[in-house]
Amino acid sequence: MLCGVKFCGGCNPRYERGKALAAVKEHFGENLRFAYAEEGRRYDLLLYIAGCANRCTALGAYPTDRGIVSLWDEESIREVCARMEELLRG
């Protein structure tokens, strides 16, 4: 399974988004591959990491088979991982 990773532009992020991605990757270990999302490419899942609750990035150019999971604060990392697992199980 391949998870696309899309960051917002990071104008004024409220937490370290790179560290949050590292935590998600650590959670999944080798059970899920991650790649920075490219426009027009289809992914099994898209992880959208926004710097704040505004989540201003348009995600229409990133098609997925199983959906998009959004993260916008570091307190939600475990919850986001759980949601990703749920989607991956189908």
Partner 1 sequence: MALMTGSQYIESLRKLGTKVYLFGEKIDNWVDHPMIRPSINCVAITYDLAHDPEHSDLMTATSNLTGKKVNRFAHLHQSTEDLRNKVKMQRLLGQKTASCFQRCVGMDAFNAVYSTTYETDEKYGTQYHENFKKYLAYVQENDLTVDGAMTDPKGDRGLAPNKQTDPDLFMHIVEKRADGIVVRGAKAHQTGSINSHEHLIMPTIAMTEADKDYAVSFACPSDAEGLFMIYGRQSCDTRKMEDGADIDVGNKQFGGQEALVVFDNVFIPNDRIFLCGEWDFAGMLVERFAGYHRQSYGGCKVGVGDALIGAAALIADYNGAQKASHVKDKLIEMTHLNETLYCCGIACSAEGYPTKAGNYQIDLLLANVCKQNVTRFPYEIVRLAEDIAGGLVVTMPSAQDFRSKEKVPTGSGLTIGEWCNKFFQGVASVPTENRQRLMRFIENLCLGSSAVGYRTESMHGAGSPQAQRIMIARQGNIEGKKALAKKLAGIKD
Identify whether the C-beta of residue 5 lies closer than 8 Å to the C-beta of residue 21. Answer: yes
Query: Under 8 Å CB-to-CB from 23, ≥6 apart: which residues?
Result: 77
What tokens were used for 36?
């920075």
Kindly determine how many residues on this chain lie close enough to bind partner 1 according to the rule CB under 8 A: 14
Report which residue type is found at 59: L
- Candidate residues 18, 67, 78, 82; the one interacting with partner 1 per rule CB under 8 A: 18
Residues between 25 and 44 that touch partner 1 (CB under 8 A): 36
Does 8 help bind partner 1 (rule: CB under 8 A)? Answer: yes
Note the residues at the interface with partner 1 (CB under 8 A). 5-12, 17-18, 36, 56-58
